Structure 1
Amino acid sequence: MDTQKLSTEELILEAAQAVFLEKGLAGARMQEIADRAGINKALLHYYFRSKEKLSALIIDRAIGVILPRVMAILETDQDLFDKIRQAVDQYLTFVSRNSFLPLFIVNEVNRNPQFFFRNVVAHEKPHLDKFRRQVDEAVAQGRIRPVSSAQLLMNMMSMLIFPFLGKPVFQVALGLSDADFEREMESRRIEVAEFIIRAIQV
């Protein structure tokens, strides 16, 4: 792939991300994406035949990056608390650079769950057998309070994802500028992991 083609595709993907975030998949128009990218509609269709393909590619590329990274951390032989710290850090690093994704994904899952799971995550089959066993063993050994691996993971991910979903509310309620919000998210690298660990530690 030559440099010009790569730069044009990236330009289109950036424009599509902005339009999808503002309008959602249903409200987005290919003409608007082309205008935002500074190209004509014919060229947009040359690269991407439909907004559905664009949407699926944007989310798929993102999930294809972060999901394997987090799953790989959770399936190592490391100490459970070290895993929590690393998974939190890895996720926040990624989402801070792609802050549009949580809201966009949640909106699209609610609008059309069949499309989302069929086209985006059907090929991703995370396995957390080692993580599940590790949590069960830690509970049995009395190292952590009784908790299922599912609840532990959901609690952790909820604390990581929700601030990005509720960013406008938090900014208004707490009087945070964009820079302030970014600093708070940076602090959450430590805050979330340690909060979770304190909650389950005996």
Structure 2
Amino acid sequence: MNTEEKIFYAARTVFQKKGFAGARMQEIADEAGINKAMLHYCFKNKQLLFEAVFMNAFSQLAPQINEIFNSEASIFEKIKNFTHNYISFVIDNPYLPPFVIQEMNNNPEFVMQFLKNESRPNPSLLLAQIDKEIEAGIIKPINPKQLLMDIFSLTVFPFAAQMLVKGLIQISESEFNTMMQERKTSIATQIINSIKT
């Protein structure tokens, strides 16, 4: 493992435990087994490190998502694969949804830069497929963008608002984790049942 890989692994570990605000560069350096000067040589500040970790994580997710979007599978299979893969990814990277929300408010330029990246998830073929499957009578008439928004909302919201969800429905950390595992399939089932003819 090279120095950058050690830093990314250490930063992910500390960000997951402490969140962005609570994480300290010294803790990340200690976790990586390097001195703070070396960490600052590679990344001048915590914000730049967090953005690099974010982009590194999404560079692993985006190809998986695009592979699902662009495959020859049916829309129902794509929904199942997306919810399973996305939730698995966020379980492994729980700091990302709150970070995205924080950055949308505090650093919208970074979010827009990410969304312009050529390797970002691109749903254009999926949207076209939804239209075709509506025309073929496979799924009910629905705005394809509304369907995508439903899928994203149901998968992202519990992670983005984790404290709110736990407090409102009175569940523990372990119960939350169990429910998220269940949602890998339950979301897909709900959506598919609501749109198939």
TM bin, normalised by shorter chain, reads 0.7 to 0.9
What are structure 2's unaligned runs of at least 5 residues?
Answer: none
Amino acid in structure 1 at the alignment position of 2:107: N
Q: 1:50 aligns with which of 45, 48, 51?
A: 45
1:111 aligns with 2:101: no
Aligned residues: 193
1:126–1:94: structure 2 CA closer, same or farther, 3 Å change rule? closer
Indicate the residue corresponding to 1:7 in structure 2.
6
Indicate the residue corresponding to 1:160 in structure 2.
155
1:34–1:13: structure 2 CA closer, same or farther, 3 Å change rule? farther
- 1:135-158 CA distances to partner (integer Å, 9 max, x unpaired)? 111111222111122211111010
User: TM-score under structure 2 normalisation?
Assistant: 0.86
User: TM-score under structure 1 normalisation?
Assistant: 0.84
Deviation at 1:54, TM superposition (A): 0.8
The aligned runs of 1:105-184 (5 Å cut-off) are: 105-118=100-113, 120-123=114-117, 124-184=119-179
Equivalent pair of 1:16/1:54 in contact (CA under 8 Å): no
1:122–1:33: structure 2 CA closer, same or farther, 3 Å change rule? same
Q: 2:95 aligns with which of 79, 97, 100?
A: 100
Q: 2:36 aligns with which of 28, 34, 41?
A: 41
Deviation at 1:162, TM superposition (A): 0.2
CA RMSD of aligned residues (A): 2.3
User: Residues of 2 paired with 1:9 and 1:98: CA distance?
Assistant: 12
Using the TM superposition, name which of 87-96 and 173-182 deviates more. Answer: 173-182
Deviation at 1:186, TM superposition (A): 0.8
Q: 1:69 aligns with which of 47, 51, 64?
A: 64
Amino acid in structure 2 at the alignment position of 1:93: S
